[in-house]
Amino acid sequence: MKIIVKDSAADASAAVADMLLQQIGKKQDSVLGLPTGGTPLGVYARLREAYRNGQGSYKFLTTFNLDEYIGLSSNDPESYAAYMLENLFGHVNIDISRTHVPRGSALDAETEAARYESLIAAYGGIDLMLLGLGRNAHIGFNEPGSPHNSRTRRVALTQSTLDANAAYFPAGAVQPSHAITMGIGTILECRKIVVLATGQGKADAVAASVKGPPSEDVPGSALIRHADITIVLDRAAAANLDYAQTRELEA
Protein backbone atom coordinates (compact mmCIF):
# COMPACT_ATOMS: atom_id res chain seq x y z
CA MET A 1 0.00 0.00 0.00
CA LYS A 2 1.30 3.40 -0.96
CA ILE A 3 0.01 6.52 0.79
CA ILE A 4 0.57 9.94 -0.73
CA VAL A 5 -0.22 13.03 1.35
CA LYS A 6 -0.54 16.38 -0.40
CA ASP A 7 -0.83 19.81 1.19
CA SER A 8 -4.30 20.51 -0.17
CA ALA A 9 -7.31 18.83 -1.72
CA ALA A 10 -6.48 20.60 -4.99
CA ASP A 11 -2.97 19.11 -5.01
CA ALA A 12 -4.34 15.65 -4.14
CA SER A 13 -6.88 15.90 -6.98
CA ALA A 14 -4.16 16.99 -9.41
CA ALA A 15 -2.02 14.00 -8.41
CA VAL A 16 -4.93 11.61 -9.03
CA ALA A 17 -5.75 13.26 -12.37
CA ASP A 18 -2.12 12.74 -13.38
CA MET A 19 -2.37 9.04 -12.46
CA LEU A 20 -5.45 8.67 -14.66
CA LEU A 21 -3.78 10.52 -17.54
CA GLN A 22 -0.74 8.30 -17.15
CA GLN A 23 -2.94 5.19 -17.27
CA ILE A 24 -4.83 6.24 -20.41
CA GLY A 25 -1.61 7.45 -22.03
CA LYS A 26 0.04 4.08 -21.41
CA LYS A 27 -2.97 2.00 -22.47
CA GLN A 28 -5.44 3.82 -24.73
CA ASP A 29 -8.08 1.11 -24.40
CA SER A 30 -7.93 1.03 -20.62
CA VAL A 31 -10.98 -0.01 -18.64
CA LEU A 32 -11.49 2.50 -15.81
CA GLY A 33 -13.70 2.26 -12.74
CA LEU A 34 -15.04 5.67 -11.72
CA PRO A 35 -16.68 7.15 -8.62
CA THR A 36 -19.07 10.03 -8.07
CA GLY A 37 -19.66 12.23 -5.02
CA GLY A 38 -17.99 15.46 -4.03
CA THR A 39 -14.46 14.11 -3.72
CA PRO A 40 -13.65 13.40 -7.40
CA LEU A 41 -15.05 16.71 -8.69
CA GLY A 42 -11.57 18.27 -8.56
CA VAL A 43 -10.12 15.31 -10.47
CA TYR A 44 -12.74 15.57 -13.21
CA ALA A 45 -12.18 19.35 -13.43
CA ARG A 46 -8.45 18.73 -13.93
CA LEU A 47 -9.14 16.13 -16.60
CA ARG A 48 -11.47 18.52 -18.46
CA GLU A 49 -8.85 21.24 -18.28
CA ALA A 50 -6.10 18.89 -19.47
CA TYR A 51 -8.32 17.78 -22.37
CA ARG A 52 -8.94 21.39 -23.41
CA ASN A 53 -5.16 21.78 -23.46
CA GLY A 54 -4.78 18.77 -25.73
CA GLN A 55 -3.81 16.27 -23.03
CA GLY A 56 -5.47 12.86 -22.83
CA SER A 57 -7.56 10.95 -25.34
CA TYR A 58 -10.62 9.00 -24.18
CA LYS A 59 -11.48 7.62 -27.62
CA PHE A 60 -10.77 3.95 -26.93
CA LEU A 61 -11.58 3.90 -23.20
CA THR A 62 -14.25 1.87 -21.47
CA THR A 63 -15.59 3.00 -18.11
CA PHE A 64 -17.64 1.39 -15.36
CA ASN A 65 -19.12 3.53 -12.64
CA LEU A 66 -19.20 2.17 -9.15
CA ASP A 67 -22.83 2.65 -8.32
CA GLU A 68 -26.20 4.20 -9.08
CA TYR A 69 -29.35 5.03 -7.15
CA ILE A 70 -32.27 2.67 -7.64
CA GLY A 71 -35.26 4.46 -9.08
CA LEU A 72 -33.35 7.17 -10.95
CA SER A 73 -33.07 6.95 -14.74
CA SER A 74 -29.98 8.26 -16.51
CA ASN A 75 -31.99 11.38 -17.49
CA ASP A 76 -32.62 12.26 -13.88
CA PRO A 77 -30.35 15.18 -12.93
CA GLU A 78 -29.53 13.53 -9.56
CA SER A 79 -28.48 10.23 -11.17
CA TYR A 80 -24.82 9.30 -11.22
CA ALA A 81 -25.16 8.81 -14.99
CA ALA A 82 -26.09 12.50 -15.31
CA TYR A 83 -23.25 13.45 -12.95
CA MET A 84 -20.71 11.68 -15.17
CA LEU A 85 -22.05 13.36 -18.31
CA GLU A 86 -21.95 16.76 -16.65
CA ASN A 87 -18.55 16.43 -15.04
CA LEU A 88 -16.54 14.37 -17.51
CA PHE A 89 -18.14 12.43 -20.35
CA GLY A 90 -19.83 15.45 -21.93
CA HIS A 91 -16.50 17.27 -22.21
CA VAL A 92 -14.09 14.73 -23.68
CA ASN A 93 -13.87 12.49 -26.77
CA ILE A 94 -15.26 9.41 -25.06
CA ASP A 95 -17.55 6.93 -26.85
CA ILE A 96 -20.67 7.18 -24.69
CA SER A 97 -21.69 3.64 -25.65
CA ARG A 98 -18.63 2.36 -23.76
CA THR A 99 -19.42 4.30 -20.58
CA HIS A 100 -21.32 2.07 -18.19
CA VAL A 101 -23.33 3.00 -15.12
CA PRO A 102 -25.70 0.53 -13.43
CA ARG A 103 -29.24 1.19 -14.68
CA GLY A 104 -31.07 2.57 -11.68
CA SER A 105 -34.39 2.39 -13.50
CA ALA A 106 -34.07 -1.31 -14.36
CA LEU A 107 -37.22 -3.26 -13.48
CA ASP A 108 -35.28 -5.74 -11.41
CA ALA A 109 -32.21 -4.39 -9.62
CA GLU A 110 -30.70 -7.81 -8.88
CA THR A 111 -30.93 -8.82 -12.56
CA GLU A 112 -29.32 -5.50 -13.51
CA ALA A 113 -26.56 -6.06 -10.93
CA ALA A 114 -25.81 -9.50 -12.39
CA ARG A 115 -25.78 -8.04 -15.93
CA TYR A 116 -23.34 -5.34 -14.78
CA GLU A 117 -21.04 -7.85 -13.12
CA SER A 118 -21.00 -9.98 -16.33
CA LEU A 119 -20.30 -6.91 -18.45
CA ILE A 120 -17.24 -6.03 -16.37
CA ALA A 121 -16.00 -9.60 -16.83
CA ALA A 122 -16.73 -9.47 -20.58
CA TYR A 123 -14.42 -6.46 -20.88
CA GLY A 124 -11.68 -8.40 -19.13
CA GLY A 125 -11.98 -6.62 -15.78
CA ILE A 126 -11.01 -3.13 -14.68
CA ASP A 127 -7.45 -1.81 -15.11
CA LEU A 128 -7.69 1.12 -12.72
CA MET A 129 -10.42 1.78 -10.19
CA LEU A 130 -10.68 5.24 -8.64
CA LEU A 131 -12.52 5.26 -5.32
CA GLY A 132 -13.76 7.80 -2.83
CA LEU A 133 -14.40 6.93 0.80
CA GLY A 134 -17.61 7.55 2.72
CA ARG A 135 -17.53 9.08 6.20
CA ASN A 136 -18.35 5.62 7.55
CA ALA A 137 -15.58 4.19 5.30
CA HIS A 138 -18.03 2.88 2.71
CA ILE A 139 -16.65 2.22 -0.76
CA GLY A 140 -19.09 2.58 -3.61
CA PHE A 141 -22.27 1.95 -1.64
CA ASN A 142 -20.84 -0.98 0.29
CA GLU A 143 -21.95 0.02 3.76
CA PRO A 144 -20.49 -1.36 7.03
CA GLY A 145 -21.36 -5.06 7.27
CA SER A 146 -20.81 -5.69 3.55
CA PRO A 147 -18.93 -8.97 3.01
CA HIS A 148 -15.47 -8.44 1.57
CA ASN A 149 -16.26 -10.99 -1.14
CA SER A 150 -19.55 -9.29 -2.12
CA ARG A 151 -20.45 -8.84 -5.78
CA THR A 152 -22.44 -6.16 -7.61
CA ARG A 153 -25.87 -6.09 -5.98
CA ARG A 154 -28.82 -4.13 -4.63
CA VAL A 155 -28.13 -2.48 -1.27
CA ALA A 156 -29.97 -0.37 1.31
CA LEU A 157 -28.24 2.87 2.26
CA THR A 158 -27.55 3.67 5.90
CA GLN A 159 -29.00 6.76 7.53
CA SER A 160 -25.53 8.32 7.79
CA THR A 161 -25.02 7.94 4.04
CA LEU A 162 -28.49 9.30 3.32
CA ASP A 163 -27.70 12.29 5.54
CA ALA A 164 -24.28 12.83 3.96
CA ASN A 165 -25.71 12.74 0.43
CA ALA A 166 -28.90 14.72 1.12
CA ALA A 167 -27.02 17.86 0.14
CA TYR A 168 -26.83 16.62 -3.47
CA PHE A 169 -30.62 16.49 -3.74
CA PRO A 170 -32.41 19.81 -4.23
CA ALA A 171 -35.43 20.60 -2.09
CA GLY A 172 -38.40 18.58 -3.29
CA ALA A 173 -36.34 15.88 -5.05
CA VAL A 174 -36.92 12.37 -3.77
CA GLN A 175 -33.74 10.81 -2.40
CA PRO A 176 -33.57 7.07 -3.12
CA SER A 177 -32.99 4.73 -0.19
CA HIS A 178 -31.41 1.92 -2.23
CA ALA A 179 -28.66 1.59 -4.80
CA ILE A 180 -26.86 -0.85 -7.06
CA THR A 181 -23.19 -0.98 -6.19
CA MET A 182 -20.17 -2.94 -7.35
CA GLY A 183 -19.33 -5.34 -4.55
CA ILE A 184 -16.16 -5.23 -2.46
CA GLY A 185 -15.07 -8.49 -4.09
CA THR A 186 -15.67 -6.92 -7.52
CA ILE A 187 -13.57 -3.90 -6.52
CA LEU A 188 -10.73 -6.04 -5.15
CA GLU A 189 -10.44 -7.75 -8.55
CA CYS A 190 -9.52 -4.47 -10.25
CA ARG A 191 -5.87 -4.56 -11.25
CA LYS A 192 -4.98 -1.21 -9.71
CA ILE A 193 -6.86 0.83 -7.11
CA VAL A 194 -6.47 4.54 -6.36
CA VAL A 195 -8.37 5.97 -3.38
CA LEU A 196 -8.84 9.72 -2.98
CA ALA A 197 -9.97 11.13 0.37
CA THR A 198 -9.86 14.78 1.35
CA GLY A 199 -10.98 16.89 4.28
CA GLN A 200 -11.16 16.42 8.02
CA GLY A 201 -14.52 14.64 7.73
CA LYS A 202 -12.72 11.65 6.20
CA ALA A 203 -9.85 11.44 8.73
CA ASP A 204 -11.53 8.76 10.90
CA ALA A 205 -12.57 6.67 7.89
CA VAL A 206 -9.04 6.86 6.46
CA ALA A 207 -7.39 5.84 9.73
CA ALA A 208 -9.85 2.97 10.32
CA SER A 209 -9.31 1.72 6.76
CA VAL A 210 -5.52 1.99 6.72
CA LYS A 211 -4.80 0.70 10.22
CA GLY A 212 -6.68 -2.55 9.77
CA PRO A 213 -7.11 -5.36 10.54
CA PRO A 214 -9.65 -5.92 7.75
CA SER A 215 -13.15 -5.89 9.21
CA GLU A 216 -16.62 -5.97 7.73
CA ASP A 217 -17.47 -3.02 9.97
CA VAL A 218 -15.03 -0.89 7.98
CA PRO A 219 -15.53 -1.50 4.24
CA GLY A 220 -12.41 0.52 3.33
CA SER A 221 -10.26 -1.84 5.41
CA ALA A 222 -10.79 -4.55 2.75
CA LEU A 223 -8.55 -2.54 0.46
CA ILE A 224 -5.35 -3.05 2.44
CA ARG A 225 -5.23 -6.63 1.11
CA HIS A 226 -4.93 -5.37 -2.47
CA ALA A 227 -1.53 -5.76 -4.12
CA ASP A 228 -1.54 -2.46 -6.05
CA ILE A 229 -3.27 0.28 -4.11
CA THR A 230 -2.38 3.96 -3.77
CA ILE A 231 -4.20 6.17 -1.28
CA VAL A 232 -4.02 9.90 -2.01
CA LEU A 233 -4.90 12.25 0.86
CA ASP A 234 -4.71 15.88 1.80
CA ARG A 235 -3.26 16.75 5.20
CA ALA A 236 -6.69 17.00 6.81
CA ALA A 237 -7.71 13.48 5.76
CA ALA A 238 -4.32 12.12 6.91
CA ALA A 239 -4.60 13.77 10.34
CA ASN A 240 -5.37 10.56 12.27
CA LEU A 241 -2.60 8.43 10.82
CA ASP A 242 0.13 7.82 13.35
CA TYR A 243 3.90 8.08 13.06
CA ALA A 244 4.46 4.46 12.02
CA GLN A 245 2.15 4.99 9.08
CA THR A 246 3.27 8.49 8.15
CA ARG A 247 6.87 7.23 7.89
CA GLU A 248 5.66 5.36 4.82
CA LEU A 249 4.17 8.46 3.28
CA GLU A 250 5.46 10.17 0.19
CA ALA A 251 5.34 13.94 -0.09
Catalytic residues: 67, 136, 138, 143
219 binds ligand GLP (CB under 6 A): no
Contact call for residues 185 and 149 (beta carbons, < 8 A): yes
Whole-number Å distance between alpha carbons of 174 and 241: 37
182 binds ligand GLP (CB under 6 A): no
Site for ligand GLP in 17-36 (CB under 6 A): 35-36
Closer of 50 and 162 to ligand GLP (Cβ): 162
Indicate the pairing of strand 153-156 with strand 67-69.
Answer: unpaired
Among 37, 104, 176, 183, binds ligand GLP (CB under 6 A): 37
Site for ligand GLP in 55-114 (CB under 6 A): 66-67
Shortest distance, position 41 Cβ to ligand GLP, whole Å? 8
Site for ligand GLP in 122-181 (CB under 6 A): 132, 134, 140-141, 161, 165
Whole-number Å distance between alpha carbons of 195 and 191: 13
Whole-number Å distance between alpha carbons of 132 and 198: 9
Residue spans of alpha helices (H) in 27-129:
41-52, 80-87, 109-122
Closer of 187 and 241 to ligand GLP (Cβ): 187
The whole-angstrom distance between residue 45's C-alpha and the CA centroid of its chain comes to 16
Residues that bind ligand GLP (CB under 6 A): 35-39, 66-67, 132, 134, 140-141, 161, 165
